[in-house]
Amino acid sequence: HFREFAGGLADRVLDHLRLLDGDYGGFPVDRLTHSLQTATRAHRDGAALLVAGFFAHQGVLNLPAMIVIAAAAAITGDAVGYAIGQRYGARLRDSRLGRRVGARRWQRADDFLATHGGKAVLFGRLTAVLRAVTPTLAGMSRMPIRTFLAWNVLGGLIWGPACVVLGWAFAS
pLDDT, tens digit, for every residue of 142-171? 899 999 999 999 998 998 899 899 999 988
Strands (E), the chain: none
- Residue 6 pLDDT level (bands cut at 50, 70, 90): low
How crowded is residue 125: how many other Cβ atoms within 10 Å of its Cβ?
A: 23
Q: How far apart are CA 86 and CA 121, in angstroms?
A: 15
Q: How far apart are CA 160 and CA 172, in angstroms?
A: 19
- Residue 133 pLDDT level (bands cut at 50, 70, 90): confident
Average of pLDDT values for 67-73?
88
What does the pLDDT read at residue 97?
Answer: 80
What does the pLDDT read at residue 147?
Answer: 92
Q: How many helices (H) and strands (E) are present in the chain, helices listed first?
A: 9, 0
Indicate the pTM of the whole model: 0.70
Report whether 56 contacts 168 (CB < 8 A).
yes
